[in-house]
Amino acid sequence: MNQLFIITVTSLVMLFATPTQAQQSADSLTIQTILQEEVTSWNRGDAVTYSKHFAENGTFTNIRGMFFTGHQPFLDRHVEIFKGMFAKTVMHQNIVSFRFLSPEAAIVETLTWITGFPKGGSPKAIHIDDKGRLHTRLLQVFQKQKGDWKIVVYHNVDLKPDTPVPAHN
């Protein structure tokens, strides 16, 4: 009787775990696609596409510590920087940490580096390494809203000169 109970419970767990794992895998791919879209749209200077997954009520802290709330301010700020200090720059992004808090929420931290600043034209008070790269750690919290993944928190911090940076190209 005890063995039958264990087999039944195990079978039920496996039955219900499989769709959850499959859904989490699909959601993981969707979020990774959003991250790749961030890179390609940044590199094109396309603020509209870069901002399209940002939630209407999302919060945004940029590398200077400025804080914004809402999709439109996020979009407006990226329109401004793509025409100004980050015009024609190239972003790269590597995932450092990715985890689901629930089926409706995920946290992703990436290490980014931006290149392509004009000589003497890098942003003030931001460390550019000897290869001309700005390194940041970007924390994004994603929430599933009406079936779509949206960025509800976007917190970007530039790395200081004495912060170790993992090797990359």
Task: Give 84-105 pLDDT, tens digit per residue.
Answer: 989 999 999 999 999 999 999 9
The whole-angstrom separation of Cα 128 and Cα 87 is 16
Task: Give how far the C-alpha of residue 158 lies from the chain's centroid of Cα atoms, to the nearest Å.
Answer: 14
Please name every residue paired with 100 in a beta bridge, in sequence order, or none if there are none: 106
End-to-end CA distance of the chain: 60
Q: Tell me if residue 166 falls in helix, strand or coil.
A: coil
The whole-angstrom separation of Cα 150 and Cα 52 is 9
The whole-angstrom separation of Cα 115 and Cα 46 is 17
The tens digit of pLDDT for each residue in 101-159 reads: 999 999 999 999 999 988 766 677 788 888 889 999 999 999 999 999 999 999 999 99
The tens digit of pLDDT for each residue in 45-67 reads: 999 999 999 999 999 999 989 99
What would be the CATH architecture of the domain defined by 2-158? Roll (3.10)
Asked if the model's pLDDT at residue 18 lies above 50, the reply is no
CA nearest neighbour of 140 among 65, 67, 48, 34 = 34
Question: What are the C-alpha distances in Å from 153 to residues 32, 83, 129?
Answer: 16, 24, 27
CA nearest neighbour of 58 among 33, 38, 75, 41 = 75
